[in-house]
Amino acid sequence: MIRSIFYSLFLGLIIAAVLMFLVAFPFGQNKMGVGQYYLDNTVKETGASNVVTAVTLEYRGFDTLGEMTVLFAAATGVSLIFYLSDEEKKKKKRENNRTKANFVVRVGSRIIFPFVILFGIYIILHGHLTPGGGFQGGAVIASGVLMLYLANPDIQIGRNKLLVTEGLAGLTYVLIGLAGLFTPAKSFLANFLPLGTPGFILSAGILLPLYIAVGVKVGSEFSGIIDDLFSTIDENGGEE
């Protein structure tokens, strides 16, 4: 009883303190200098017309490397629980004998799949020009793979190929970053390529190759997660 009163008093104190500081800010005015700085100088400094991409890859490129590591850890965690070798997966699939999707879905998914992949690639390549980028495009590509898996139970993407692709993409990101150390800027992830004209696809220096690496990595990682999850589905699970 006393403890809960103490807790609620403590919580009230924290809320009051937060509110006190919030009141000190004038409402509706921009007190943060950083946001305005990005808006004013991004195009000039990085050549990217998409400010969000410039912030994620140029000003905070190191954070993005951390994000990719988090994603990698998540994918590894899924693999730890669900991993089966490709032969075991095939065997398990034969045992499960999942119901086929109907003819329309099977054929339709094959027709739509290339368009989904094309759209994903478009989003990745235009990451520095329009909203979108590596993470979003990679997720779109993985959703295409998910569609294939849903429509065709027999399909199987080689897990090892995905792992190699993912590793190479991550390595590319780090190598591009390390290359920055040998340029006049002498810093990790320095933008050493020519900036070009903002608004063109070959602009913004290293942002394009970095986002391609991110897109490939995210796409193969998500596809791997989908593959792991699908191959261990037990159709009769829960009812037995």
Partner 1 sequence: MRIISGYVLLYLGAFFLLVSSIGLVRLPDVYTRMQAATKSTTLGVFFSVIGVGVLNPSWLVKCIVVAFFILLTAPISGSALLRASYKAHSPISSQTTIDKTKEFSENEDGEK
Q: Using CA atoms of 58, 59, 65, 71 in order, give the dihedral in degrees to the nearest 10.
A: -100
Which sign, positive or negative, has the C-alpha torsion 148, 150, 152, 154? positive
Enumerate residues 6+ apart whose C-beta is below 8 A from 101.
Answer: 109, 150, 151, 152, 153
User: How far is the C-alpha of 142 from the C-alpha of 223, rounded, in Å?
Assistant: 5
Name the token pair of 182.
């040998």
Contact set for partner 1, span 97-116 (CB under 8 A): 99-102, 104-105, 108-109, 111-112, 115
Q: Taking every pair of C-alpha atoms in the chain, what is the biggest distance, in angstroms?
A: 67
Q: How far is the CB of 75 from partner 1 (least distance, A)?
A: 28
Compose the 191-230 pattern: x for residues touching partner 1 by CB under 8 A, - for all others.
----------------------------------------
CB closer to partner 1, 102 vs 197: 102
CB closer to partner 1, 80 vs 111: 111
Contact set for partner 1, span 111-150 (CB under 8 A): 111-112, 115
Cβ atoms of 132 and 52 within 8 Å: the answer is no
Asked if residue 95 binds partner 1 (CB under 8 A), the reply is no
Cβ atoms of 186 and 36 within 8 Å: the answer is no
Beta strands in 87-180 (DSSP E): none
CB closer to partner 1, 112 vs 155: 112
**Which H or E element spans position 51?**
helix 51-53
Q: How far is the CB of 52 from partner 1 (least distance, A)?
A: 24
Q: How far is the CB of 100 from partner 1 (least distance, A)?
A: 6
CA-based nearest residue to 52, from 121, 132, 134: 132
Enumerate residues 6+ apart whose C-beta is below 8 A from 52.
Answer: 131, 133
Q: How far is the CB of 102 from partner 1 (least distance, A)?
A: 5
CB closer to partner 1, 133 vs 153: 153
Sole window of 23-31, 94-102, 129-137, 170-178 interacting with partner 1 (rule: CB under 8 A): 94-102
How many residues of this chain interact with partner 1, rule: CB under 8 A?
11
Q: How far is the CB of 90 from partner 1 (least distance, A)?
A: 18
Q: At residue 141, what is the residue type?
A: I
Q: How far is the CB of 148 from partner 1 (least distance, A)?
A: 13
Q: How far is the CB of 105 from partner 1 (least distance, A)?
A: 5
Q: Which residues bind partner 1 (CB under 8 A)?
A: 99-102, 104-105, 108-109, 111-112, 115
